[in-house]
């Protein structure tokens, strides 16, 4: 059977430009989302289809706009932490961390090493959590159902660890301006160690199901390509950029919260397709695992909050016995704390890419402006470039590989 006969059988061959020259086929507009099983939240894509080939795509966002940035202006600095959880609901602790670091920079607070290391440990667990959700949903989009549930098994362990630390599974608000909300609970080391010891073998399990699977490779290799120049122009960051070959990771290039003391590698690929993004994220899971282990083994002793009585709530015991502590407690709880006038932009590496918080203070106890630069927003801009000219099934694989969270996009 020759090639021409084969493509005659195909209703929509992927490269069917030969006939497009003389006959202009009718296009069908397909409205994908906001209620669609694999647009991951409430993304709406307006697709123009020729058969099953996508000719143009217009993403429509804003269905999950919550006004968090504006709401922050009505709360005190410490209260606003609870809102940052809800921005990127798959990586709440990364958002906590970024916001706290920004405010701490304005306050020029020195955070004790123990708090810094705990922050690293928990944000890396957050990265694992986020990547697990990504891998599971990405796999189920391409039809591999079981991986989803295997990923959620490990995610459950991580959420239990979060619950142990903060009493909450998802909206933890565990990092506060000036350190941690509570001292780490007794016995947390054993729980984290059990998880970290078994986790690499679980990653092997996912890889067994996917990495060398012919169908998986066919569905992902060479799909969703976008040139590195376009990526930089559109402001794409994170694993997508690293899958294009650019070794850019804020944890290495502008270390925060003692990341410079940890030994880890930044995985990169050059193929820049869905498969490369998969490989980068899976390798990142292994690296995060290494960081958590180092943080666990080298955890320094010391207080979990900064020595700043005007910012950090006093210990319960001191509050009940010392007049001064009681006054500070009352002042912080009722009025909050003043932050010196100024503006600051803090960047961290969230699981999705560069997450930035721009905080402006006018000297009062409430922020004048909080702007969130969500990595999902930048990454989502690439959708039209990524999907134009490919098949409908590849659209699902491509947008899955971008790993955006609509809460982070719309804010």
Partner 1 sequence: MDFFLLSLVKAGVVAAVLLTTLAYLQWVERKVIAHIQLRMGPSRVGPHGLLQPLADVIKLITKEDLIPPHVNKFLYLLAPFLAMTMALISISIIPFGGEIEVFGTKTWMQLTDLNIGVLFILAASSMGVYGIALAGWASNNKYALLGGLRSSAQMISYELPMSLAIAAPLLLLNTLSLREIVQMQSGYAFGIVPRWSVFQGPFPQVISFFVFLIAGFAETNRIPFDLPEAENELVAGFHTEYSSMKFAAFFMAEYANMITIAAMTTILFLGGWHPIFPAAYGADFVAPLIFAIAAGVCFYHGLHPARRFDRITLPVFGFVFAAMAAAFLIPALHDALIPLFWFAAKTGFLLFVFIWIRGTLPRFRYDQLMNFAWKFLFPVALINLLVTGLMVALF
CA neighbor of 281 nearest in space, from 149, 100, 112, 402 = 402
Q: Which is nearer to partner 1, 19 or 153 (CB)?
A: 153
Beta carbon of residue 14, minimum distance to partner 1 (angstroms, whole number): 5
Q: Which is nearer to partner 1, 1 or 301 (CB)?
A: 1
Q: Which is nearer to partner 1, 10 or 74 (CB)?
A: 10
Which residues would be at the binding site for partner 1 (CB under 8 A)? 1, 6, 9-14, 28, 30, 36-38, 52, 139-146, 148-150, 153, 209-210, 213, 215-216, 218-219, 391-396
Beta carbon of residue 398, minimum distance to partner 1 (angstroms, whole number): 12
Tokens 């490990």 belong to which residue?
Answer: 154
CA neighbor of 258 nearest in space, from 163, 118, 139, 164 = 118
Q: Which is nearer to partner 1, 145 or 323 (CB)?
A: 145
Asked if 270 contacts 242 with a C-beta cutoff of 8 angstroms, the reply is: no
**Which residues lie below 8 Å from residue 173, measured CB to CB, with a gap of 6+?**
81, 82, 85, 92, 96, 166, 181
Q: Which is nearer to partner 1, 13 or 336 (CB)?
A: 13
Q: Which is nearer to partner 1, 65 or 153 (CB)?
A: 153
Beta carbon of residue 278, minimum distance to partner 1 (angstroms, whole number): 12
Largest CA distance in the chain: 91
Beta carbon of residue 283, minimum distance to partner 1 (angstroms, whole number): 20
Beta carbon of residue 6, minimum distance to partner 1 (angstroms, whole number): 5
Q: Which is nearer to partner 1, 146 or 253 (CB)?
A: 146
Beta carbon of residue 63, minimum distance to partner 1 (angstroms, whole number): 17
Beta carbon of residue 28, minimum distance to partner 1 (angstroms, whole number): 6
């Amino acid at each position: 059977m020759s090639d021409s006969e084969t493509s005659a059988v195909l209703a929509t061959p992927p490269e069917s430009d030969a006939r497009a020259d003389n006959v202009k086929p009718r296009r069908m507009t397909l409205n994908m989302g906001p209620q669609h099983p694999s647009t991951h939240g409430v993304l709406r894509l307006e697709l123009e289809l020729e058969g099953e080939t996508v000719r143009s795509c217009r993403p429509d966002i804003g269905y999950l706009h919550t006004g968090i940035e504006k709401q922050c202006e009505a709360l005190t600095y410490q209260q606003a932490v609870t809102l940052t959880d809800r921005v990127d609901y798959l990586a709440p602790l990364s958002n906590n961390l970024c916001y706290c670091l920004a405010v701490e920079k304005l306050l020029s607070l020195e955070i004790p090493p123990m708090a810094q290391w705990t922050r690293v440990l928990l944000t890396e667990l957050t990265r694992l959590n986020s990547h697990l959700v990504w891998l599971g949903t990405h796999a189920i989009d391409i039809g591999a159902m079981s991986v989803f549930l295997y990923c959620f098994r490990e995610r459950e362990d991580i959420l239990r660890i979060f619950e142990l630390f903060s009493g909450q599974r998802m909206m933890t608000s565990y990092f506060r301006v000036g350190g941690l909300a509570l001292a780490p609970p007794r016995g947390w080391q054993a729980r984290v160690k059990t998880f970290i010891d078994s986790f690499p073998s679980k990653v092997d399990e996912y890889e067994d199901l996917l990495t060398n699977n012919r169908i998986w490779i066919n569905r992902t290799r060479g799909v969703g390509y976008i040139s590195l120049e376009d990526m930089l122009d559109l402001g794409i960051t994170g694993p997508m950029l690293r899958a294009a070959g650019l070794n850019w990771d804020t944890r290495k290039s502008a270390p925060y919260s003692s990341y410079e003391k940890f030994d880890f590698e930044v995985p990169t690929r050059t193929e820049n397709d869905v498969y490369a993004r998969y490989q980068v994220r899976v390798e990142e899971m292994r690296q995060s695992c290494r960081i958590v282990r180092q943080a666990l083994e080298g955890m320094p002793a010391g207080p979990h909050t900064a020595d700043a009585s005007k910012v950090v709530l006093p210990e319960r015991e001191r509050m009940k016995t010392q007049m001064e502590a009681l006054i500070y407690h009352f002042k912080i709880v009722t009025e909050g704390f003043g932050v010196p006038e100024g503006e600051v932009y803090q960047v961290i590496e969230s699981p999705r890419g560069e997450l930035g918080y721009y905080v402006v203070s006018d000297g009062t106890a409430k922020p004048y402006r909080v702007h969130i630069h969500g990595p999902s927003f930048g990454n989502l801009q690439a959708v039209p470039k990524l999907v134009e000219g490919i098949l409908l099934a590849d659209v699902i694989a491509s947008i899955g590989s971008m790993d955006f969270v609509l809460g982070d996009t719309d804010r």
